């Protein structure tokens, strides 16, 4: 069925060529029709008037009402870009920024990257002509570094404000501040939920402009008992809908790339088996790292007689609207960062989503007609096990990066920074303490310079930033893939393995073929290279030397220890225990140290799946902890009381290390 989709596209292309001119005309007309049909359209004049009269305006409107694609066009049409001034619109997600920019460029009738463009990390698709710029909230933050008053912007739209990402929350504080001495700057805060009073209140009682939505009723179905395997339940539900329900597309919410790919494979496989017994089902994934040509596919109209199923992360909850969805399948989970201020531990875990999220998801089924939402959890769970709404990211993250960013913007007094929801005081203090302990801040709280074996550490940092997508493991070549992976194993741990992969790739001349032969994902490697280049550029700018340890792996492991000393775990019966808090954790089965089980480890992150797993671990010597973090560890905590219990394993580890 993948191939039938491709064939269909081929014939469509031919037709397009034949009737290129008239088709373009028709398309233009229909685009205008679609624009006029959106709920925001009748409010164009009122909205422009409100923007003219108020410096800051909060805009509330249901998902799909046209906030993101239309309002910036209204602003362009009424001259807010005169004199080369820019209109900026932020999105919490890269995919949304790209996809929306592409759509708007099409609507305006310009080439993407000319008048309408987007900017996301490592990809700047704008030019001198760009007046409407979609970007991630992180990119706008970055612009504050070079243009602290955002002088080149006439309007800044903080879109998807309800998402309350860390970057959006910081933008709120910074923009509120600059709006005071830039009365000509218009600020629009756009949100999909009813919580707009909070935004209004934060921005000194800015007025709220409400765009009435159009919604068809959505019937909600719950399961009678909890689902043991929600992935399988999704697959079964999709197929059931496909064979029993009238036409209409289907949207499935899963938590991440891996799950989505598995679900798509399962669906395709079962459809293949059913063959011509069922009508065609087009299975399309959408998640953050999906290549952009694949992203665009989810928007193409479903051919008559077939059904489209889009398997998405919560990007399809409010950021992207896919027309034609009638059925929603919601297992009720999302991947969320969580932070324990007491232990200082941050982890990415699959958790039940909030009731607000579940309701947004259900709402996706009722945009074009009455729809149905199948919740793969019980009505009881909805009521009693889900939180009312999602806690803002700033409340559940390590603030180290935020502190560094604000300090580099010259904001030293973080305690009094104007946060909409201030992070817990102890989290902020902990971040300052950690940065001081790391030597990133001096005793005056100012940024310092530090030099380690930066060459290798740069590579490791870059590789870790794309860590879970380096190794390619197709289901039909598992043995080959695992062998290939085994060939990269070197002593020391996963960080060293990642360094090895990168170094070999570099020696191959950054070859695609090399990646292919070694079951390495080329796209991830390219991304790691981009990250590395960017980090190297930053080092250069702040004059930190890039130097190599010359093959000695001890300094590299010490550097990781210096940066992550609070992520130390010690071997104990049946698993590991974190040193400070005695939490039981395990080495991830994918790790190069899974068999070896060295006595002391530092982990990069914790993921909770079936157990609390440490992902990306490196072997260390406990004495290093006293060297790099004497303020944090006492000698007594690091005594090897258990040394006699595990002589064999330890011996093996030593041998292999040589
Ligand atoms: P809101 O921001 O209020 O949620 P949008 O402006 O994103 O609404 O969506 C308005 C309309 O534009 C929707 O019907 C949506 O399907 C359509 N749309 C948005 N992006 C694309 C795209 N990349 N391709 C096709 N249609 C799109
Ligand atoms: Mg939007």
**Percent of the chain beyond pLDDT 70?**
92
Q: Using the predicted structure, report yes or no on whether residue 519 has a pLDDT greater than 80.
A: yes
List ligand 1's pocket residues with C-beta within 6 A. Answer: 38, 61, 63-70, 99-100, 102-103, 299, 321, 323
For residue 546, report the phi and psi dihedrals to the nearest 5 degrees.
Answer: -100, 110
Band of residue 634 on the pLDDT scale cut at 50, 70, 90: confident
Band of residue 363 on the pLDDT scale cut at 50, 70, 90: very high
- Helix %, strand %, coil % for the chain, to 5? 45, 20, 35
pLDDT at 638: 84
473: CA distance to ligand 1 center in Å? 35
Q: Using the predicted structure, report yes or no on whether residue 504 has a pLDDT greater than 70.
A: yes
Q: What is the distance of C-alpha 349 from the center of its chain?
A: 13
513: CA distance to ligand 1 center in Å? 38
Closest ligand 1 atom to the C-alpha of 323? 16
**Considering the entire predicted model, what is its pTM?**
0.75
pLDDT at 563: 87
Q: Using the predicted structure, report yes or no on whether residue 71 has a pLDDT greater than 80.
A: yes
Q: Using the predicted structure, report yes or no on whether residue 506 has a pLDDT greater than 60.
A: yes
pLDDT at 309: 98
Sign of CA dihedral 325, 330, 335, 337: positive
Tell the residue nearest (CA) to atom 14 of ligand 1.
64
Under DSSP, the state recorded for 475 is G
Q: Using the predicted structure, report yes or no on whether residue 397 has a pLDDT greater than 80.
A: yes
Q: Using the predicted structure, report yes or no on whether residue 647 has a pLDDT greater than 60.
A: no
Q: Considering every ligand atom, which ligand is closest to the CA of 67?
A: 1
Band of residue 344 on the pLDDT scale cut at 50, 70, 90: low
C-beta pairs of 25-31 under 8 Å, 24+ apart in sequence: 28/109, 31/106, 31/107
Q: Nearest 5°: CA angle at 382, between 377 and 383?
A: 145
Tell the residue nearest (CA) to atom 25 of ligand 1.
299
Q: Considering every ligand atom, which ligand is closest to the CA of 71?
A: 1
**Percent of the chain beyond pLDDT 90?**
65
pLDDT at 112: 97
Tell me the mean pLDDT in the region 156-185.
Answer: 95
104: CA distance to ligand 1 center in Å? 9
Band of residue 644 on the pLDDT scale cut at 50, 70, 90: very low
Q: Using the predicted structure, report yes or no on whether residue 641 has a pLDDT greater than 60.
A: no
Q: Using the predicted structure, report yes or no on whether residue 467 has a pLDDT greater than 70.
A: no
Low-confidence winner among 10-24, 331-345, 435-449, 453-467 (lowest mean pLDDT): 10-24
Band of residue 580 on the pLDDT scale cut at 50, 70, 90: confident
Higher-pLDDT residue of 75 and 645 is: 75
Closest ligand 1 atom to the C-alpha of 102? 23
E strands present in 531-619: 568-572, 575-578, 584-587, 600-608, 612-619
* Average pLDDT in the chain: 88
Band of residue 544 on the pLDDT scale cut at 50, 70, 90: confident
Q: Over the stretch 238-289, which tens digit does the pLDDT of each residue have?
A: 999 999 999 999 999 999 999 999 999 999 999 999 988 899 999 999 998 8
Q: Using the predicted structure, report yes or no on whether residue 425 has a pLDDT greater than 60.
A: yes
159: CA distance to ligand 1 center in Å? 13
Band of residue 645 on the pLDDT scale cut at 50, 70, 90: very low
pLDDT at 9: 38
Closest ligand 1 atom to the C-alpha of 62? 3
pLDDT at 655: 33
pLDDT at 308: 97
Burial class of 163 by CB neighbour count within 10 A (0 to 12, 13 to 18, 19+): buried
pLDDT at 648: 40
Q: Over the stretch 91-119, which tens digit does the pLDDT of each residue have?
A: 999 999 999 999 999 999 999 999 999 99
pLDDT at 22: 66
Tell the residue nearest (CA) to atom 27 of ligand 1.
103
Burial class of 93 by CB neighbour count within 10 A (0 to 12, 13 to 18, 19+): buried
């Amino acid at each position: 069925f993948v191939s039938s989709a491709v064939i269909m596209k081929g014939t469509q292309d031919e037709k397009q060529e034949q009737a290129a001119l008239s088709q373009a005309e028709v398309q233009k007309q229909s685009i205008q029709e679609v624009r006029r049909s959106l709920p925001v359209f009748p409010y164009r004049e009122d909205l422009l008037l409100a923007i003219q009269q108020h410096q800051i305006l909060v805009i509330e409107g249901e998902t799909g009402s046209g906030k993101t694609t239309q309002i910036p066009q209204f602003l362009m049409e009424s001259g807010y870009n005169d004199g080369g001034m820019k209109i900026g619109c932020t999105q919490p997600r890269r995919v949304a920024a790209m996809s929306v920019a592409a759509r708007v460029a099409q609507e305006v009738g310009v080439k993407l990257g000319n008048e309408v463009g987007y900017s996301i990390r490592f990809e700047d698709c704008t030019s001198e002509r760009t007046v409407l710029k979609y970007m991630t909230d992180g990119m706008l933050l970055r612009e504050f570094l070079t243009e602290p008053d955002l002088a080149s912007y006439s309007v800044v739209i903080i879109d998807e404000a309800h998402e309350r990402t860390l970057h959006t929350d910081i933008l709120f504080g910074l923009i509120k501040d600059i709006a005071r001495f830039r009365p000509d700057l218009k600020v629009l805060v756009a949100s999909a939920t009813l919580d707009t009073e909070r935004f209004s209140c934060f921005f000194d009682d800015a007025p709220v402009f409400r765009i009435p939505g159009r919604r068809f009723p959505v019937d909600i179905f719950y399961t009678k008992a909890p689902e043991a395997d929600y992935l399988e339940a999704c697959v079964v539900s999709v197929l059931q809908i496909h064979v029993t329900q009238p036409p209409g597309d289907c949207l499935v919410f899963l938590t991440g790339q891996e799950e989505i790919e598995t679900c798509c494979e399962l669906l395709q496989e079962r459809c293949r088996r059913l063959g011509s017994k069922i009508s065609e089902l087009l299975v399309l994934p959408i998640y953050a790292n999906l290549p952009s040509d694949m992203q665009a596919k989810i928007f193409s109209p479903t051919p008559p007689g077939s059904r489209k199923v889009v398997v998405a992360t919560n990007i399809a909850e409010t950021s992207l609207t896919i027309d034609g969805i009638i059925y929603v399948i919601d297992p009720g989970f999302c991947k969320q960062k969580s932070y324990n201020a007491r232990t200082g531990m941050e982890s990415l875990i699959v958790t039940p989503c909030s009731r607000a999220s579940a309701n947004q998801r259900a709402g996706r089924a009722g945009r074009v007609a009455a729809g149905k939402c199948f919740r793969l959890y019980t009505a009881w769970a909805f009521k009693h096990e889900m939180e009312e709404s999602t806690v803002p990211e700033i409340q559940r993250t390590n603030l180290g990066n935020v502190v560094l960013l604000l300090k580099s913007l010259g904001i030293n007094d973080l305690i009094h920074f104007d946060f909409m929801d201030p992070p817990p005081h102890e989290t902020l203090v902990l971040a300052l303490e950690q940065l001081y302990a790391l030597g990133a801040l001096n005793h005056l709280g100012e940024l310092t310079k530090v030099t380690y074996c930066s060459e290798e550490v740069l590579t490791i940092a870059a590789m870790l930033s794309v860590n879970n997508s380096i190794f390619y493991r197709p289901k039909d070549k598992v043995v080959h893939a695992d062998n290939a992976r085994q060939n990269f194993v070197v002593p020391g741990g996963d960080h060293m393995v990642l360094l090895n992969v990168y170094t070999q790739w570099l020696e191959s001349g950054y070859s695609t073929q090399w990646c292919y032969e070694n079951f390495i994902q080329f796209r991830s490697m390219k991304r790691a290279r981009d990250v590395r280049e960017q980090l190297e550029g930053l080092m250069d700018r702040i004059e930190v030397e890039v130097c190599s340890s010359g093959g000695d792996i001890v300094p590299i492991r010490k550097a990781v220890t210096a940066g992550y000393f609070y992520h130390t775990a010690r071997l104990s019966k049946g698993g590991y225990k974190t040193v400070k808090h005695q939490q039981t954790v395990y080495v991830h089965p994918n790790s190069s140290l899974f068999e070896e089980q060295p006595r002391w480890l530092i982990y990069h992150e914790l993921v909770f799946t079936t157990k609390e797993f440490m992902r990306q671990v490196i072997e260390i010597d406990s004495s290093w902890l006293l060297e790099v973090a004497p303020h944090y560890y006492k000698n007594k905590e690091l005594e090897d009381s258990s040394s006699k219990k595990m002589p064999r394993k330890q011996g093996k580890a030593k041998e292999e290390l040589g």
